[in-house]
Chain A
Amino acid sequence: GAVVSQHPSWVICKSGTSVKIECRSLDFQATTMFWYRQFPKQSLMLMATSNEGSKATYEQGVEKDKFLINHASLTLSTLTVTSAHPEDSSFYICSALRSSGNTIYFGEGSWLTVV
């Protein structure tokens, strides 16, 4: 079946630094990907919609300058958390829309810890 890969699976970074998380669709093209954030014991909150070749669309309350999204190819979207703070520590999950079939596939998620 279709697979969506996230990298890294977990990352620790220092406060004030930036960290990049990748979301790849391994065997299909995805013109649209979505980024979610999940705090411990809470649900997934949609952060933004990533569109290949155009600017991402952010949900209300999500800082676009802090969470930079780049969808430069049909199989890769990246989320960069800039100037990370401990409160950005969270589980970040992406999903990819398979253009043929209109099916959504989720990645395995990436744990970010900011120290």
Chain B
Amino acid sequence: SQQGEEDPQALSIQEGENATMNCSYKTSINNLQWYRQNSGRGLVHLILIRSNEREKHSGRLRVTLDTSKKSSSLLITASRAADTASYFCATDVRGTYKYIFGTGTRLKVLA
């Protein structure tokens, strides 16, 4: 399976703390994307990072990419209860526009 791995599978933190999620993938990529999914809902796009980029920020989100290790991390700073959701990384299959999703991290932020 080409599916990437994410860790931790589940994460429970207090409001205000930072949350870090890691994603590892298997093949060469052009882009890596992070998505959020609230329970039973569709995907919300968070950030796209290209293979020639090492770090990107968007508000309270910080994404890093290490192509040599085939890994990425998503940091959510100053977490809020509303950040409670599942977070997925998705990598494109080089040469196509297919995206393969990681196993996901279920984040729970306690108020």
Of residues 69 through 114 on chain A, the ones whose CB sits less than 8 Å from some CB of chain B are 91, 93, 95, 97, 102, 104, 106-109, 111
Of residues 59 through 95 on chain B, the ones whose CB sits less than 8 Å from some CB of chain A are 88, 90
The prevalent SS among residues of A at the interface is strand
Contacts of A93 in B (CB 8 A): 42-43
* A25: interface (CB < 8 Å): no
**CB <8 Å contact, B41 and A109:** yes
Most buried by A among B40, B90, B98, B103: B98
Q: Within the complex, which residue of B33, B40, B103 is in contact with A43, where a contact is CB–CB below 8 Å? A: B103
Cβ-Cβ contact count across A and B, 8 Å cutoff: 46
Q: How far is the CA of A42 from the CA of B104 in the complex (A)?
A: 8
Contacts of B57 in A (CB 8 A): none
Given contacts A34-B99, A102-B97, A104-B97, contact A43 B104 (CB under 8 A): yes
* A46: interface (CB < 8 Å): yes
Q: How far is the CA of A44 from the CA of B100 in the complex (A)?
A: 8
Nearest to A105 among chain B residues (CB) is B45
**CB <8 Å contact, B43 and A43:** no
Contacts of A46 in B (CB 8 A): 98-101
Contacts of B96 in A (CB 8 A): 49
